[in-house]
Structure 1
Amino acid sequence: MGVLPVPAGVRAILLDVEGTTTPIAFVQETLFPYIRDNVEQYLRAHWEEEECQRDVGLLRQQAQEDSGLDGAVPIPLESGSGDEELERVIRAVVDNVHWQMALDRKTTALKQLQGHMWRAAYATGLVKGEIFEDVVPAIRKWREAGMKVYIYSSGSVEAQKLLFGYSTEGDILELFDGHFDTKIGPKVESESYRRIAASIGCDTNNILFLTDVPREANAAEEADTTASLAAFLPKLS
């Protein structure tokens, strides 16, 4: 692999996750299938819990907003008690989650439920976050050079912290100065990078954003953020 030096003037590194710090295969072949295969079981086990009900409520709200979309799956309110009514609502939630995932949607409602499911999987050792072998050495070099390192992913902040907290490299959360997800804005919109810069107290032109998605890189550059497309992490020369 070649060496791509960090441009002069960069004070903060902003990292994408999927395809940048973590193999795409891990997300596509481990994390997402875990949700599809276990969402019904998870809902049944946690249905009465407040957190689960908040997740369902957010999914129901999203379903209402999606009502005009082709194939959208509504989530009804429970109109009574009994196993049959519960079965009807859980089935609707499962079908809605599967529909959103089939379209690779990145709604906050879906990401929140996924994050909570992954939390349980990581904590029990069913899942470990995969990290490219050059990630930790590169981040350590950046930090030694006085740069701060942040994550910006479409996955929720909670999901990010789980991946790096229960990773194949151990708990590496201490290497990051902060985390951002789509609550600050979509990754394909330039305004999101301006908000991140304001949040961390840094000019956009002092940030280097690393991603494997051209549209994200273009949006960052529109905000005067330096962006680099990389299948691996560039290292300090």
Structure 2
Amino acid sequence: MEPLPAAVTAILLDIEGTTTPITFVKDILFPYIQDNVEEYLQKHWHEEECQDDVRQLKLQAEKDSGQKGFVPIPSNTEAELQVIKGVAANVLWQMSLDRKTTALKQLQGHMWRSAYASGKVKGEVYDDVVPALKKWKGAGMKLYIFSSGSVEAQKLLFGYSIEGDLLELFHGHFDTTVGSKVESDSYRRIADKIGCSTENILFLTDIIKEAEAAREAGVHVAIAVRPGNAALTDEEKSEYHLITSFDQLPLQSTH
């Protein structure tokens, strides 16, 4: 296999379906919230951070009040345990609809931080990921993450991974504050922030729409074909460089 273009000096990595099984979020992270939210709220209820999370959830609940099946949060005049149960029920309702509200993500982020730090959860990465990251970094590549999950969530996953703390391998992290992953301008902004041209970047993802947006911006792309990822059409397979493992990317040293 021919090495990728010599112009590539930075590798931008998606997480789900690329470095990490899609099932990790669906089968580990989300069920952790569902199983532990009420207990977490009881334990941390009187802490400022938790109260701020609850305030944000209540503000979101005011906006949601007209929605079908809406689960209200009791006012603070109710007994503490009833309010906690109400907050937990609202969180479960939002998750059942796959909501991505800022208030929900904020609480989830704090719960995951606690779970990672206590060792209850460890970030999953495919077996081929860490050796490849170390090899690429050793070859002079700069490594970055671009995920729809928050930068904080990314750092937790790699900081508390099954392979230990991997954060030192990365030069930076990007989330959707730079723009959507399916918009080409996002990749131009990332290039600006990295301080290079889009043609100096290789983006690894499993999502065709993200690959299209990156390629439109002038970024080199390879598609990760992993178990459980969305199937590709024959046309998509012919259009992109496909890899089933990171060790299938022969890179030229930038030294």
Whichever residue aligns with residue 22 of structure 1, its letter is T
The answer to whether the 8 A contact 2:12-2:203 is kept is yes
Q: Aligned pair 1:187/2:181, yes or no?
A: yes
Structure 2 CA distance for aligned equivalents of residues 125 and 19 of structure 1: 23
Q: Structure 1: 5+ residue runs without aligned partners?
A: none
The one of 24, 47, 63 equivalent to 1:49 is 47
Structure 1 CA distance for aligned equivalents of residues 168 and 27 of structure 2: 27
Q: 1:137 to 1:94 in 2, by over 3 A?
A: same
Q: Aligned pair 1:208/2:180, yes or no?
A: no
User: Secondary structure of 1:14's partner?
Assistant: strand
The one of 234, 238, 246 equivalent to 1:234 is 246
The answer to whether the 8 A contact 2:129-2:246 is kept is no
Shift of 1:179: 1.2
Q: Aligned pair 1:198/2:192, yes or no?
A: yes
Shift of 1:91: 3.1
Whichever residue aligns with residue 127 of structure 1, its letter is V
The answer to whether the 8 A contact 2:9-2:142 is kept is yes
Structure 2 CA distance for aligned equivalents of residues 107 and 69 of structure 1: 14
Corresponding position of 1:27: 25
Structure of larger gyration radius: 2
Q: 1:46 to 1:141 in 2, by over 3 A?
A: same
The one of 84, 92, 103 equivalent to 1:90 is 84
Shift of 1:25: 1.9
Corresponding position of 1:144: 138
Q: 1:14 to 1:103 in 2, by over 3 A?
A: farther
The answer to whether the 8 A contact 1:194-1:204 is kept is yes
Normalising by structure 1, we get a TM-score of 0.85
Corresponding position of 2:34: 36
User: Secondary structure of 1:229's partner?
Assistant: strand
Structure 2 CA distance for aligned equivalents of residues 70 and 215 of structure 1: 31
Structure 2 CA distance for aligned equivalents of residues 156 and 32 of structure 1: 15
Structure 2 CA distance for aligned equivalents of residues 223 and 66 of structure 1: 37
Corresponding position of 1:164: 158
Q: Structure 2: 5+ residue runs without aligned partners?
A: 227-243, 251-255
Structure 1 CA distance for aligned equivalents of residues 85 and 10 of structure 2: 45
Shift of 1:112: 2.2
The answer to whether the 8 A contact 2:13-2:145 is kept is yes
The answer to whether the 8 A contact 1:60-1:76 is kept is no
Structure 1 CA distance for aligned equivalents of residues 91 and 2 of structure 2: 40
Whichever residue aligns with residue 117 of structure 1, its letter is M
Shift of 1:21: 0.7
Structure 1 CA distance for aligned equivalents of residues 71 and 2 of structure 2: 46
Deviations 1:162-184 (A, max 9, x none): 11111111111100111122233
User: Identity across aligned pairs (percent)?
Assistant: 66
Q: 1:185 to 1:99 in 2, by over 3 A?
A: farther
| Structure 1 segments (4+ residues) deviating >6 Å | none
The number of equivalent residue pairs is 231
Moved more, 121-130 or 84-93: 84-93
User: Secondary structure of 2:30's partner?
Assistant: helix
Q: 1:183 to 1:71 in 2, by over 3 A?
A: farther
